[in-house]
A = this chain, B = another copy of it.
Amino acid sequence: MVIAEITIVPIGTGSPSISRYVAECVRALEDAGIKYTLTPMGTILEGSLEEILEAVRMLHRIPLNKGVERVSTRVVLDERRDKNATAEDKVKSVEKRLKGKE
């Protein structure tokens, strides 16, 4: 399992707002049944490496298919083989440490 973060940045649209493209991406993730969480700086995805790269392909093309002339897409893939941790587990693991020391 891979935990990933993807951020789609449409360039040259004439508007500083990009929420309509992010909303389209969320709809596409819902339709594709991919586990996701929205954050203020990107979208967290969880799945196999193949599922995530297929989602990246799909999401990167959404603004281009809507006529945007240039898209810059950032992706970070985090894969760990020593244990099976979900995105939620990662945050909990830090919170547990914080409580332990306080």
Contact = CB atoms under 8 A, between A and B. Distances in A.
Interface of A: 3-5, 7, 9-20, 22-23, 26-27, 37-42, 44, 49-50, 53, 56-57, 60-61, 64, 68-82, 87-88, 90-91, 93-95, 97-98, 101
A81 B72 CA distance: 12
A27 B45 CA distance: 27
Contacts of A97: 19-20, 22-23
A22 B11 CA distance: 14
A56 B33 CA distance: 23
B80 A69 contact: yes
A74 to B, nearest CB: 5
Q: Could you say which of A5, A57, A79 has the most chain B C-beta atoms within 10 Å of its C-beta?
A: A79
Contacts of A75: 56, 73-77
Contacts of A79: 60, 64, 70-71, 73
